[in-house]
Amino acid sequence: MHIEPGIVHGAKMALSYGTAVVSFGIAFKLAVDSIKNSGLFPLIVKSIMASILVFMFFEVFPHQAVGVSEVHLILASTLFLIFGLAATSLALAIGLLVQGLLFSQFDLPQYGMNVTTLLMPLFVMSFVASKVIPANIAYKDIKYSDALKLSFVYQGGIVTWVAFWALYGQGFGYENLSSVLSFSIAYMSVILIEPLINLALLSGAKTLHILQNSPFVNNRLFNTAK
The pLDDT tens digits of the residues spanning 12-22 come to 999 999 999 99
Per-residue pLDDT band at 3 (split at 50, 70, 90)? confident
> For residues 77 and 156, is the Cβ–Cβ distance under 8 A?
no
Mean of the pLDDT values across residues 39-46? 96
Domains annotated for the chain, with CATH where assigned, are 10-221 (1.10.1760.20)
Vertex 15, ends 25 and 53: CA angle to 5°?
50
Q: What percent of the chain has pLDDT over 70?
A: 99
Q: Average per-residue pLDDT in the chain?
A: 90
pLDDT at 213: 79
Q: Is the pLDDT of residue 209 over 80?
A: no
Q: How far apart are CA 175 and CA 185, in angstroms?
A: 16
Q: How far apart are CA 59 and CA 76, in angstroms?
A: 15
> For residues 78 and 201, is the Cβ–Cβ distance under 8 A?
yes
Q: Is the pLDDT of residue 226 over 70?
A: no
Out of 26-30, 49-53, 87-91, 144-148, least confident range: 144-148
Q: Is the pLDDT of residue 105 over 90?
A: no
CA atoms within 13 A on the CB side of 177: 4
Q: How far apart are CA 221 and CA 199, in angstroms?
A: 12
pLDDT at 89: 98
pLDDT at 199: 83
List, for residues 50-90, the tens digit of each pLDDT value: 999 998 888 887 777 787 887 778 889 989 999 999 999 99
- Between these two residues, 202 and 53, which has the higher pLDDT value? 53
For residue 124, count other CB atoms closer than 10 A to its CB: 15
